[in-house]
Structure 1
Amino acid sequence: MSNTGQHEEGQNARELSKSKNRRHLLDSAADAIFKHGFRGATIAAIQKISGLSRGMINLHFKTKENLLLAVAEDLSNSYSERWNKIARNPDLSARDKLMGIIKVDLSPDILNERDVAIWFAFRSEACSNPDYHKFIDSRDASFHNTIVEICQSLIDEGTYPNGDAHLAADAFIALFEGMWTDFHLHSEEFDRCRAERVCLYIANSLFPDHFDL
């Protein structure tokens, strides 16, 4: 193998190792928030969970504050990727998109004790640190606009003379927020099937031509 090839292979290995360490630190910091609360997610706690040195944290994120901000962004991106995959699928009808988003919002991949606890931990800090706000905002413009577009498509397709896409979107988002809060407070008693039925009940009330109970 040429020196150039060896150099590129070594560089790729280093980049892969760097990427893995960064991912590991993000997961470890998230675990620290879940296990110890936001204030308890200290450098020492993150080090203990990750098994990595403080120098590694400094290398990737410079400060603990940057690391925690990256955790908030990572959770937000993970959530956005899931609902966007449904909302941007050209093969799905408006009804299927709304139903798909409801199912994603209630799925264990999204609605689980660890991630929801972390979401609420960041929300409790948003007033003192506005940098977190854009990642945990219940009025996220992209998500809201997407739900409005879906609701407007349903109104255009059906016979809903008094339909209001913006009010309908606000209703669904408030419903999702309520479900997350209920899960956060009562995760052991939370019934996903019943939660989905509640969402379907509201969908049927707003768009009876598209949703059956």
Structure 2
Amino acid sequence: MRKVDPEARGHKASKETRQLQLIEATIDSLARRGYAETTTALVAVGAGLSRGIVNFHFESKEKLLIATLQYMADEYAAHWRAAYEKGGGDPARQLASMVTADFDRSISSKRKLAAWCAFWGEAKSRPTYQALCGQRDQAYHDTIIQICTALKADGGYDFNARATAMGLSAMLEGLWLRLLLGAEGLNRETACQAAFEHLASIFPRHFSRSDLDTRESA
């Protein structure tokens, strides 16, 4: 969780700082209480601010939640894009970097995963949430398809790149869910290892079961 300077709780805190305090408190509330039980009053208490400050910056609970989802979507997008760039022009390194990044503490803490699940649970009936989540998913999925297509051509694999990309995304989302539910023996490190096992089974000419250790020590 990002730390906010204690002085930011004073009267001269910037608009951006206030909003970040409230967004972080909203993530906390979603993780602890779920969507239905999260209120502006509880968010204000969690942020150490008055309810009037919440209303001043976001006007309503719905606008606060939309801002929180947008913040999380932007954070995730910046995170995976940075991981992709870290892989340079090598599709295997790009994919390895993106998969490893998905299990970074800043992204896949139980707190963040619980907040994501709270929003996913509401997305079906809320077009705004669908749009925000859809933008994130589509850009990510298009990139995974691009990588799978390049690896297929390079390795001579016999698979459908689009279907394989969809399966990879579903596998990673499933590991996130199991992390949130506290599956026995699973933590971020073992989840990442499981993901690399899957990569080795799909792309044996590009990944091996020792890749996680060698890539992390590089």
Q: TM-score, normalised by structure 2?
A: 0.83
- Select 1:196's aligned residue among 192, 199, 209: 192
What RMSD in Å do the two structures reach over aligned CA positions?
2.2
Aligned to 1:10: none
Residue type matched to 1:202 in 2? H
- Select 1:113's aligned residue among 106, 110, 113: 110
- Unaligned runs of at least 5 residues, structure 2: 1-10, 210-218
- Unaligned runs of at least 5 residues, structure 1: 1-13
For residue 66 of structure 1, report the CA deviation from its aligned partner: 0.2
Residue type matched to 1:106 in 2? F
Aligned to 1:209: 205
1:131 aligns with 2:128: yes
Q: Percent identity?
A: 30
1:143 aligns with 2:146: no
Residue type matched to 2:90 in 1? S
For residue 84 of structure 1, report the CA deviation from its aligned partner: 0.7
Supply the distance in 1 between the matched residues of 2:43 and 2:189 (Cα, whole angstroms).
Answer: 36
Residues 151-162 of structure 1: matches in 2 within 5 Å? Answer: 151-160=148-157, 162=158
Aligned to 1:78: 75
The answer (yes or no) to whether the contact 1:113–1:187 under 8 Å persists in 2 is: no
Residue type matched to 2:32 in 1? K
SS in 1 for 2:105: coil
Aligned to 1:103: 100
Number of aligned residue pairs: give it: 199
For residue 127 of structure 1, report the CA deviation from its aligned partner: 2.3
For residue 107 of structure 1, report the CA deviation from its aligned partner: 1.9
Q: TM-score, normalised by structure 1?
A: 0.84
| Greater displacement, 28-37 / 84-93 | 84-93
Supply the distance in 2 between the matched residues of 1:43 and 1:163 (Cα, whole angstroms).
Answer: 49
4+ residue runs of structure 1 moved beyond 6 angstroms? Answer: none
Largest Rg, 1 or 2: 1
For residue 194 of structure 1, report the CA deviation from its aligned partner: 3.0
- Select 1:18's aligned residue among 15, 19, 34: 15
The answer (yes or no) to whether the contact 1:148–1:169 under 8 Å persists in 2 is: yes
